[in-house]
Amino acid sequence: MKMLRSLLCIALTFAMLIPVSVFAGPLDYIVENEPVAAPEATPDIDGVISDTDGWSAPAKLKDGMVKYLMDYAQPCATDADIYFAYDEGGLYFAADITEISGVGDVDNTFAYSTEEDYLDLEKGSNENIVGYNGDVFILALDPLGLYEQNGYIAATDYTVWYCVGLFENEGAKLYRTRANAGEATDGISLTGKTTETGWCFEAYLPWEMIIADMEAYTYGRATCTVEDLTQGGAQFRSAAIYMDRTDDPELGEVNTRGAYMTACSVAHDGHPSHTMKGHYAMLYGLDFYIEYKNPAFNDVKENAWYYEAVKYCFNHRYMNGTSDNAFTPNGKVTREMFVKVLANLADADLSGYSTSSFTDVKEGSWYATAVEWAYDNGLTSGMSEDSFGTGQAITREQLAAFLTRFAQFTKKNTNGRADLSIFKDSAKISDWAKDSVSWMVYKGFISGMDETTLDPKGTATRAQMAVLITAYMGEYGLNVF
């Protein structure tokens, strides 16, 4: 019996050590790619990734940045520079891939795909995962984090894969898996070629295809518009997956000797990414975003202290100009103006608000539905029972109260209070606003006009509001990275 116990202990100890040995080594040292800004450009899809084509800075697929998906003992045998760009019609992506010699026991020479090994839709995805043999580059996309937001976070199998391969006639093909599976041709542009060190390609995917594939795979749960995808700052959780494919002459079949996926160092749920098993979408570590556009306002100069804040609010559609080419940074913020901004921050559905509870809110005006939404959700009670206070400039303490209520409405943490006695005019703060002002100062969302003056009854300017909104959303806004 003692011997049996000893053998059982040894077996259990060995079993506990197995995961350690599997995930030891380079998996413990993942270096995450920084998010890349995708510029608006129209690169020539000619197979030559040129510095003059407007591509982004390169993201990297290399040993320190990958998780090994299939052959955990096989170090990454490739380096790749990966590029992005976009236009109003679609997404450009490209890769310059180097096959590294002398890594592990894999023959690292480039392997063409062959026409004979075609996508068999009758087979399971693991039997014929990409539709052809040869070396394969895969781009997996989670636009705006919509897969994750709709519960599709368990595995990369829950995003559509765009799989690129190069064939012996130097013709490149792109296949989709998981949704609308098969070779993609409509609206696609794709060119690839071999190089002295491996191969490269340039590709173009229509936005409408990306949206349709996402809707098909999530049964309509995840959806968006082209405008959503191309607005400045729009974020794409992304992964590059690379597969070295070789023919096994003894078995007479195609083998995948290594699969490498760009990984984040810490998953969104706080786990170190290298401790996760399998194809986890939460490990995406090749993220990019649509480059911010400069605001087209004649009265906002690039050297202004509020320029970056106006740029941020303009790109995220939180604040519009007072006209097509004017922002009016020193203009006063009216009550209806700020309520409209809050509705924009919440991405509120205003379609159900057709009447007004206040006599000074004109039905059909640009702010009417936002005011009614704010009233319906307890963000404002108006200046009186039947008056909202339309046209009145908002004071700094009113602004603090509005935003604090909004934070509580959206379930944000509003703990923490500042000592307001350091301001010599703190006695001027209205009793109903003291708690809100204290929280806003504590968070650093508002500060004094100088070291000793808060000016709670002073009116806020549009430039000040842009800075406040940028600071608030920088902490509490959606960041899918």
The CA distance from 272 to 274, in Å, is 6
Structural domains of the chain in order of their starting residue, each with its CATH number = 25-290 (2.60.40.1190), 307-476 (no CATH)
* Assigned token pair, 358: 């206040």
Q: Which residues contact 202 (CB under 8 A, 6 or more apart)?
A: 43, 44, 45, 46, 47, 48, 49, 92, 93, 94, 189, 190, 191, 192
Q: What is the pLDDT of residue 314?
A: 95
Cβ pair 225, 105 in contact under 8 A: no
| Main-chain phi, psi angles of 211, to 5 degrees | -65, -45
Predicted confidence (pLDDT) at residue 206 exceeds the cutoff of 90: yes
Cβ pair 365, 392 in contact under 8 A: no
Predicted confidence (pLDDT) at residue 140 exceeds the cutoff of 50: yes
The CA distance from 426 to 321, in Å, is 33
Task: Please name which of 111, 115, 139, 123 lies closest in space to residue 256, comparing C-alpha atoms.
Answer: 111
Q: What letter does residue 417 receive in the DSSP assignment?
A: -
Phi-psi region of 220 (alpha: psi -120 to 50; beta: other; left: phi over 0): left
Cβ pair 199, 97 in contact under 8 A: yes
Three-state SS at 216? helix
Pairing between β-strand 198-206 and β-strand 189-194 as defined by DSSP bridges: antiparallel
CB atoms within 10 A of CB 310: 26
The CA distance from 126 to 73, in Å, is 20
| Main-chain phi, psi angles of 142, to 5 degrees | -125, 85
Beta strands in 380-428 (DSSP E): none
The CA distance from 262 to 257, in Å, is 17
Q: What is the pLDDT of residue 109?
A: 83
The CA distance from 472 to 456, in Å, is 19
- Name the pLDDT band for 180 (thresholds 50, 70, 90): confident
**% of the chain at pLDDT higher than 90:** 60
Q: What is the pLDDT of residue 289?
A: 97
Cβ pair 245, 108 in contact under 8 A: no
Cβ pair 476, 411 in contact under 8 A: no
Q: What letter does residue 33 receive in the DSSP assignment?
A: P
The residue ranking higher by pLDDT, 364 or 270, is 364
Tens digits of residue pLDDT in 384-398: 888 999 999 999 999
Three-state SS at 190? strand
Tens digits of residue pLDDT in 354-405: 899 999 999 899 999 999 999 999 998 888 888 999 999 999 999 999 999 9
Q: What is the pLDDT of residue 25?
A: 40
The CA distance from 270 to 313, in Å, is 29
The CA distance from 30 to 26, in Å, is 7
| Main-chain phi, psi angles of 58, to 5 degrees | -75, 140
Tens digits of residue pLDDT in 26-39: 455 788 999 999 99
Q: Which of 224-228, 382-386, 477-481 has the highest mean pLDDT?
A: 224-228
Q: What is the pLDDT of residue 24?
A: 34
Which sign, positive or negative, has the C-alpha torsion 335, 347, 289, 237? positive
Cβ pair 300, 312 in contact under 8 A: no
